[in-house]
């Protein structure tokens, strides 16, 4: 993905990311799972539905991270195959949130977490329509107002996806707290914020960054964009080998999606999805992944 790097965030966010993201290699992702999405959806994601009309591939959990969109942190998503204990909603939530807290776990190096590096999951539980996530090491964060709100939404979207519950209660060291970091009210269970305000407007859902695919594969795009139009470009080195525009199933503020069949020769490629600005023709909301075609 090539949305503007997090150095474009306010300096306080840059400092936090540096603290949370040691320079270690990202893990090698699994091969891109076939059929990572179900039927198209012309509506914005609901309280527990996943964006792009997709459910997690078999044995994988949706994990949300943050990426910079012209300096603003926006949510993006990857599917990770993780051990989930007994497979209960609480166990799935603990696995997904644990993965989310460490920005180094993202396959795409442009994705990160704005949670403090010390944050850990102590326990998770489910009661009724609420999943409770008990954290330690998360009492202090210097992410600022927008960064704090989006970091909490990162947890909410991850926990609701894993548990299938629409509400998330956050505890710190086993106790309820009125607010997080001076910016987020946590007296009541939290729910997903409006998708149009929270998510990166353009997603390249599949193939995921680092995936290995066959010569014939399906590119899965989603977006909340003007006139439901997303552009894409496929590069091998500095050479553009394919490009085009795709009409999604819905336009903003709903999230539309599209699947595009692609055939490439073996090699390493960068697939980039983006919106073209109607004002000046610039690329907006870029998301790109490097893949290998075998």
Per-residue pLDDT reduced to its tens digit, 2-40: 444 433 333 333 333 333 333 333 333 444 433 333 333
Per-residue pLDDT reduced to its tens digit, 226-278: 999 999 999 999 999 999 999 999 999 999 999 999 999 999 999 999 999 98
Per-residue pLDDT reduced to its tens digit, 64-80: 999 999 999 999 999 99
Pairing of strands 216-223, 256-263: antiparallel
- How far from the centroid of its chain's Cα atoms is residue 243's Cα? 24
> Which tokens go with 256?
């539309």
On whether the CB atoms of residues 36 and 133 are closer than 8 A, the answer is no
In this predicted structure, what is the pLDDT of residue 103? 82
pLDDT (average), residues 182-211 = 97
Place of tokens 């503020």: 253
Determine the Cα–Cα distance for residues 23 and 85; give it in Å rounded to an integer: 29
109 pLDDT above the threshold of 80: yes
**In a 3-state reduction of DSSP, which class is residue 264?**
coil
In this predicted structure, what is the pLDDT of residue 54? 58
b/e per residue, 150-183, with b = 16+ CB within 10 A? bbbbbbbbbbbbbbebbbbbbbbeeeebeebbeb
In this predicted structure, what is the pLDDT of residue 28? 39
Determine the Cα–Cα distance for residues 117 and 36; give it in Å rounded to an integer: 30
In the chain, what percentage of residues exceed pLDDT 90?
79
- How far from the centroid of its chain's Cα atoms is residue 260's Cα? 21
Per-residue pLDDT reduced to its tens digit, 135-170: 999 999 999 999 999 999 999 999 999 999 999 999
Task: Please state which of the ranges 51-65, 177-191, 213-227 shows the lowest mean pLDDT.
Answer: 51-65
Determine the Cα–Cα distance for residues 236 and 129; give it in Å rounded to an integer: 47
> What domains sit in the chain, N to C, each tagged with a CATH number?
6-198 (no CATH), 202-293 (2.60.40.10)
294 pLDDT above the threshold of 80: yes
In this predicted structure, what is the pLDDT of residue 52? 78
**In a 3-state reduction of DSSP, which class is residue 92?**
helix
Residue 102: how many other CB atoms lie within 10 Å:
17
> Which tokens go with 210?
């680092």
pLDDT (average), residues 47-58 = 70
Question: What is the pLDDT of the chain when averaged over all its residues?
Answer: 87
In this predicted structure, what is the pLDDT of residue 53? 62
Determine the Cα–Cα distance for residues 59 and 61; give it in Å rounded to an integer: 7
- What's the DSSP call for residue 51? G
What spatial distance separates the first Cα and last Cα of the chain, rounded to whole Å? 21
In this predicted structure, what is the pLDDT of residue 49? 77
In this predicted structure, what is the pLDDT of residue 55? 54
DSSP 118-152: T-EEEEEEEETTEEEEEEES-S----HHHHHHHHH
């Amino acid at each position: 993905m090539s949305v503007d790097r997090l150095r474009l965030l306010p300096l306080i966010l840059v400092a936090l990311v540096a603290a949370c993201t040691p320079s270690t290699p990202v893990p090698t992702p699994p091969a891109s799972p076939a059929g990572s999405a179900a039927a198209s959806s012309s509506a914005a994601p609901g309280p527990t539905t996943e964006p792009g009309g997709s459910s997690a591939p078999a044995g994988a959990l949706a994990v949300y991270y943050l990426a910079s969109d012209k300096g603003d942190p926006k949510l993006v998503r990857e599917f990770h195959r993780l051990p989930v204990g007994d497979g209960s909603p609480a166990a799935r939530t603990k696995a997904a949130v644990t993965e989310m807290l460490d920005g180094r776990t993202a396959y795409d190096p442009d994705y990160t977490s704005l949670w403090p590096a010390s944050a850990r999951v102590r326990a998770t539980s489910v009661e009724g329509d609420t999943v409770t996530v008990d954290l330690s090491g998360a009492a202090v964060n210097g992410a600022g107002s927008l960064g704090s709100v989006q970091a909490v939404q990162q947890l909410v979207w991850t926990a609701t996806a894993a548990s299938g519950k629409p509400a998330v209660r956050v505890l710190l060291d086993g106790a309820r707290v009125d607010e997080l970091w001076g910016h987020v009210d946590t007296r009541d269970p939290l729910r997903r914020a409006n998708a149009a305000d929270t998510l990166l407007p353009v997603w390249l859902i599949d193939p995921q960054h680092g995936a290995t695919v066959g010569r014939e594969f399906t590119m899965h795009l989603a977006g909340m964009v003007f006139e439901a139009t997303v552009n894409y470009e496929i590069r091998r080195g500095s050479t553009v080998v394919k490009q085009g525009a795709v009409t999604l199933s819905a336009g903003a503020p709903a999230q539309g999606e599209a699947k595009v069949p692609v055939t490439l020769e073996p090699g390493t490629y960068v697939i980039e999805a983006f919106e073209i600005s109607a004002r000046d023709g610039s690329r907006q909301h870029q998301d790109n992944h490097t893949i290998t075609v075998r």
